[in-house]
């Protein structure tokens, strides 16, 4: 009987463990039991971490508004790595999220020197057709950065909240970096925050599916979201035995809130950041009208309430901020997925054609690549049967795990049989080659159907 080994916990994930300690990325494992109908990338621990995903999960479970957003730079062939991001977007869309996909033509033009004409052609022919073919619904939003005035306008506003030194520290910009390249970084942040502008019904949780290498950008945009706020809400603990809020009230509601404050020593502070004084006064009046004891100062308001009602207070503050012309952004969340190895081993990169399988390449060419793929097999058949293979370092197994086999039990069986030496590399490659060719043929047929559906997505005539 085959040993039951968890096929999702590969040696490769250990390389990501330092991200939890050094950068504050949280393990997705803790959220998985609470995630309804998790997608395969979640179930198989390919999505290994997150930053701030809790509010998104709460929105999914409780049917509240949220968005999912990602973008693609139209400078090369669409490949299996892009497919993974697209399917994460589509899963969130199916779970009720308002989905946004940006074609990063401004980035491609400024960073790669791609012509506007080629940006448009590649954006449609490579990325958008595959996105639709994979199941992206027409109620989502697909746009080109250069044609989206809300994104460009927001990028300008974000530029007032950061500087060249900060961007240089994150992206390695130097004195030789073009201004257009700097601007493209701000446009990416505007892409991520766009789902929260008034045109799309205001602030809400937003998730960005990314690889771990994109975390610096996620941290930048979360910081910018905070800098764009008029107010900062935080739970504080009184360091004095003398309560500094308003005097004890006799009304039962006020008494209840004040007793919580006296017992815990916690209070909620709402601090203005160059906010209009009238907005702070409106916050104080609104919160007091809901039965909370409030003390207003010149630039902040303190509320006699503990952390259990923080979200309710924050919601009030955000609504009033918007009334006074602010954004009220919620810091965007991110999920982080493992990188898929290149077909030839090492990193998958579109600049190394043999390392990728493009979704637009001929099935027979993909078959040839699969048959030449680097495996985790031993030097000889005898060693393979005696010692077993190493699926954790096998590009062919990753094709099954990431893309080709929807049945978790079937993937588990392949993993165990490889580890136990009962499955040889030749059989695995043959199986993967057939499945890959079948997938590409079907996908490319769906891409042709997608071309006829562009008008459903507001892309007619593109």
CA distance 414 to 404: 12
The fold of the 231-323 domain, in CATH, is: Alpha-Beta Plaits (3.30.70)
Average pLDDT on 393-409 reads: 95
Asked if residue 184 has pLDDT above 90, the reply is no
For range 401-420, the mean pLDDT: 94
Q: Is the pLDDT of residue 136 over 70?
A: yes
**CA-based Rg of the chain, rounded to a whole angstrom?**
26
pLDDT, mean over the chain: 88
Tell me how far the alpha carbon of residue 436 is from its chain's centroid.
27
276 token code pair: 């209009």
Rounded average pLDDT over 292-305:
92
Q: Identify the DSSP state of 341.
A: B
Question: Which H, E and C letters describe 145-214, residue by residue?
Answer: HHHCHHHHHHHHHHHCCCCHHHHHHHHCCCCCCCHHHHHHHHHHHHHHHHHHCHHHCCCCCEEEEEEHHH
Q: Is 99 helix (H, G, I), strand (E, B) or coil?
A: strand
The answer to whether 130 touches 82, Cβ cutoff 8 Å, is: yes
- Give the per-residue pLDDT at 17: 67
Instruction: Please report the pLDDT score of residue 217 as a whole number.
Output: 86
Q: Flag the least confident range among 32-36, 254-258, 321-325, 391-395.
A: 254-258
Structural domain boundaries in the chain: 17-228+329-337, 231-323, 353-457
Burial (CB < 10 A; 0-12, 13-18, 19+), residue 374, is middle
263 — pLDDT class (breaks 50, 70, 90): low
Confidence of residue 6 (pLDDT cuts 50, 70, 90): very low
Whether the Cβ atoms of residue 49 and residue 27 lie closer than 8 Å to each other: yes
Q: Please determine, for residue 435, whether its predicted confidence score (pLDDT) is greater than 80.
A: yes
Cα dihedral 395→401→402→403 (10° resolution): 100
Q: Tell me what pLDDT residue 22 has.
A: 72
Residue 241 has phi, psi (to 5 degrees) of -75, -20
Which residues face 143 on adjacent strands?
102
Q: How confident is the model at residue 9 (pLDDT cuts 50, 70, 90)?
A: very low
Between residues 335 and 8, the one the model is more confident about: 335
- pLDDT for residue 21 is more than 80: no
> Quick check: 89 and 120 in contact, CB under 8 A?
no
Phi then psi dihedrals of residue 268, to 5 deg: -105, 125
State residue 240's pLDDT score: 52
| Rounded Cα distance, 438 and 278, in Å | 64
Instruction: Report the share of the chain in percent with pLDDT over 90.
Output: 66
Q: What are phi and psi for residue 143, nearest 5 degrees?
A: -150, 160
Burial of 213 (0-12, 13-18, 19+ CB in 10 A): exposed
| pLDDT(4) > 60 | no
- Say if residue 241's pLDDT is above 50: no
Least confident of 83-92, 166-175, 228-237, 380-389: 380-389
- Residue 257 CA to residue 248 CA, distance in Å, equals 10
17-228+329-337 is a CATH 3.40.190.10 domain: no
pLDDT at 248: 39
Output the pLDDT for position 247.
41
pLDDT digits (tens, 9 = 90+) for 54-85: 999 999 999 999 999 999 999 889 999 999 99
8 A C-beta contact, residue 419 and residue 389: yes
Range 107-116 burial, b when 16+ CB lie within 10 A, else e: bbbbbeebee
The pLDDT of 391-406, averaged and rounded, is 94
**Which of 167, 184, 222 minimizes the C-alpha distance to 102?**
184
Residue holding tokens 């043999």?
A: 354
Report the length, in residues, of the chain. Answer: 462
Phi, psi of 128 (to 5 degrees): -65, -40
Split at pLDDT 50, 70, 90, the class of 151 is very high
The better pLDDT of the pair 369, 305 is held by 369
- What global pTM score does this model have? 0.89
For residues 333 and 207, the answer to whether their CB atoms sit within 8 Å is: yes
Residues 164, 173: contact at Cβ < 8 Å? yes
- Phi, psi (deg, nearest 5) at residue 142: -115, 130
Query: Can you state the angle between helices 179-193 and 215-227, rounded to 10 degrees?
Result: 70
Local confidence band at 332 (pLDDT 50, 70, 90 cut-offs): very high
Segment 407-432 shows an average pLDDT of: 92
Q: Token pair for residue 209?
A: 């599916």
Asked whether the beta carbons of 115 and 109 are under 8 A apart, the reply is: yes
Question: What per-residue confidence (pLDDT) applies to 339?
Answer: 85
Band of pLDDT at residue 432, cut at 50, 70 and 90: very high
Query: What whole-number distance in Å separates Cα of residue 151 and Cα of residue 157?
Result: 10
Confidence of residue 12 (pLDDT cuts 50, 70, 90): very low
Q: In whole angstroms, give the CA distance from residue 137 to residue 129.
A: 12
Whether the pLDDT of residue 104 is over 90: the answer is yes
Task: Indicate the pLDDT class of residue 262, thresholds 50, 70 and 90.
Answer: low
Q: What is the mean pLDDT of residues 8-21?
A: 54
- β-partners of residue 347 are 341
- What order do you get walking across the sheet with 206-211 strand by strand? 26-27, 47-51, 333-337, 206-211, 67-72, 98-103, 141-144
Does the domain at 353-457 match CATH 1.10.10.10? Answer given as: no
- Alpha-carbon distance 188 to 114, whole Å? 17
């Amino acid at each position: 009987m085959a040993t039951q080994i968890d096929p999702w916990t590969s040696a490769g994930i250990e390389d990501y463990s330092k991200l939890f300690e050094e950068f504050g990325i949280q393990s997705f494992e803790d959220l998985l039991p609470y995630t309804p109908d998790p997608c395969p990338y979640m179930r198989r621990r390919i999505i290994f971490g997150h930053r701030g995903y809790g509010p998104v999960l709460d929105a999914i479970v409780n049917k509240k508004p949220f968005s999912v957003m990602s973008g693609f730079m139209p400078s090369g062939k669409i490949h299996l790595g892009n497919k993974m991001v697209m399917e994460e977007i589509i899963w969130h869309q199916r779970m009720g999220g308002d989905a946004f996909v940006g074609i990063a033509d401004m980035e491609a033009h400024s960073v790669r020197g791609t012509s506007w004409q080629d940006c448009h052609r590649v954006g449609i022919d490579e990325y958008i057709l595959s996105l639709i073919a994979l199941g992206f619904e027409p109620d989502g939003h697909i746009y080109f950065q250069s044609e989206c005035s809300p994104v460009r306008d927001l990028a300008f506003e974000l530029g007032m909240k950061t500087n060249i030194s900060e961007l240089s520290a994150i992206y390695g910009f130097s004195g030789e970096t073009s201004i257009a390249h700097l601007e493209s970084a701000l446009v990416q942040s505007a892409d991520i925050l766009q789902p929260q502008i008034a045109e799309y019904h205001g602030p809400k949780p937003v998730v960005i599916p990314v690889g771990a290498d994109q975390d610096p950008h996620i941290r930048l945009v979360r910081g910018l979201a905070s800098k764009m706020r008029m107010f900062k809400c935080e739970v504080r603990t009184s360091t004095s035995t003398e309560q500094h809020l308003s005097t004890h009230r006799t009304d039962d509601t006020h008494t209840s809130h004040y007793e919580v404050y006296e017992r815990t020593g916690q209070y909620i502070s709402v601090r203005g950041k160059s906010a209009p004084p009238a907005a702070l006064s409106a916050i104080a009046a609104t919160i007091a009208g809901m039965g909370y004891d409030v003390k207003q100062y010149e630039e902040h308001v303190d509320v006699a309430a503990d952390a259990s009602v923080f979200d309710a207070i924050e919601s009030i503050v955000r609504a009033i901020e918007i009334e006074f012309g602010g954004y009220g952004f919620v810091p965007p969340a991110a999920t982080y997925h493992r990188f898929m190895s290149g077909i030839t081993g090492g990193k998958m990169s579109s600049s190394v054609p043999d390392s990728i399988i493009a979704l637009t390449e001929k099935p027979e060419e993909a078959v040839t690549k699969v048959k030449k793929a680097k495996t985790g097999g031993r030097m000889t058949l005898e060693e393979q049967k005696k010692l077993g293979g190493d699926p954790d370092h096998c590009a062919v197994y990753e094709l099954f795990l990431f893309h080709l086999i929807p049945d978790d039990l079937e993937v588990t069986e392949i993993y165990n049989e490889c580890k136990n030496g009962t499955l040889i590399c030749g059989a695995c490659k043959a199986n993967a080659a057939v499945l890959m060719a079948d997938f590409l043929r079907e996908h490319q047929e769906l891409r042709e159907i997608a071309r006829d559906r562009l008008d459903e997505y507001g892309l007619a005539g593109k």
